[in-house]
Amino acid sequence: MQASLKFLAVTTLSALAGLASVAAQAESYDGVLTHASALSRADVDAEAVRTASAPNQNVVRGSRGAEPFKAVADSKAVAQEAMRAAAAPDQNVSSGSRVNSKVISTMPHPMDVRTSNANGGSRL
């Protein structure tokens, strides 16, 4: 019992010493600082009224639906690429489809076959 009282007394004294050191290092409070503004109070009030009544003040980019799209690629080339990808025999197979496998397409692409047939060539 006596040891616990000594421990309590020592911890209380160390806590008080810590508080005293913090209080000694605290900065003094000088009150609210005055701020010199370039605008008068009436100018600030008028600006606040203009801002609060401005149209579209809370509108951010894209919040009113999709923005107009301007294409940078040739639409015919994009359509041709899409048709080629859609007709690919292995379009849903990637190199990670199976564990430790590498997919190498051995199938002829249908669009290549159609092109060579249209040009009079034959493909085996």
pLDDT of residue 123: 46
Domain that holds residue 82: 76-89+105-118
Q: What is the pLDDT along the chain (124 residues), one digit of tens a residue?
A: 677 767 766 677 677 666 666 555 667 777 777 777 788 889 999 999 998 888 877 788 777 788 888 889 999 999 999 888 888 776 666 666 666 666 666 667 777 777 677 676 554 4
pLDDT confidence of residue 96:
62
In a domain, 83, yes or no: yes
pLDDT confidence of residue 76? 93
Give me the pLDDT at residue 78, please: 93
Q: Is residue 80 part of a domain?
A: yes
Q: What is the pLDDT of residue 36?
A: 75
Number of folded domains that form the chain: 1
Task: List, as own/partner pairs, every contact residues 31-39 make where C-beta atoms lie below 8 angstroms and the sequence separation is at least 24, other chains included.
Answer: none
Instruction: Let me know if residue 11 belongs to a domain.
Output: no
Among 108, 113, 112, 114, smallest CA distance to 89 is for 108
Q: Tell me if 69 is assigned to some domain.
A: no
**Domain-located, residue 47:** no
Two structure tokens written together for 112: 């290549």
Q: Which string of DSSP letters, residue by residue, matches 55-98? A: TTTT--TTTTSPPP----S-HHHHHHHHHHHHH-TTTT--TTSS
- The confidence score (pLDDT) of residue 94 equals 64
Q: Is the dihedral of CA 76, 82, 85, 88 positive or negative?
A: negative
